[in-house]
């Protein structure tokens, strides 16, 4: 009912939690908040306003589960460091740091 907390279809909460995979939609009276989860990155929508976290250039930062993660590209988290040029480290499910040793660049966890 309008103006009151709605009962959850999930586990005993006062909001409706629609769980589709990793995506959860939260509904409260008069407002709809959606959390879209793509991998570990999340984009937050609140009261019709889209909030995206982007940093300069190609680097983007997204907050997820209370941690700062740098950022997603093609569904994977990547960290960019520039040493004259932008270096990219790919990881499957984890963020990796690029370290330079002379000319060679290695990616470590």
* DSSP string across 13-29: -SSEEEEETTEEEEEET
Q: Would you say the pTM of this structure is higher than 0.85? A: no
Cβ atoms of residues 95 and 88 within 8 Å: no
Give the pLDDT of residue 85. 33
According to the model, what pLDDT value does residue 37 have? 36
Answer yes or no: are the C-beta atoms of 64 and 41 closer than 8 Å. yes
pLDDT tens for the chain, 109 residues: list them. 343 333 333 333 333 333 333 333 443 333 333 333 333 333 433 333 333 333 333 333 333 333 334 443 333 334 443 333 333 343 333 334 444 443 344 444 3
């Amino acid at each position: 009912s309008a103006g009151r907390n709605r009962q959850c279809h999930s586990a005993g909460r006062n909001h409706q939690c629609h769980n589709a995979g990793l995506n959860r939609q939260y509904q409260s009276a008069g407002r709809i908040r959606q959390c879209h989860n793509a991998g570990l990155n999340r984009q937050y929508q609140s009261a019709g306003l889209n909030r995206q976290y982007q940093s300069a250039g190609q680097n983007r930062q997204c907050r997820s589960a209370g941690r700062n993660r740098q950022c997603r590209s093609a569904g994977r988290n990547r960290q960019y460091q520039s040493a004259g040029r932008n270096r990219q480290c790919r990881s499957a499910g984890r963020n990796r740091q690029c370290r330079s040793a002379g000319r060679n660049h290695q990616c470590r966890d």
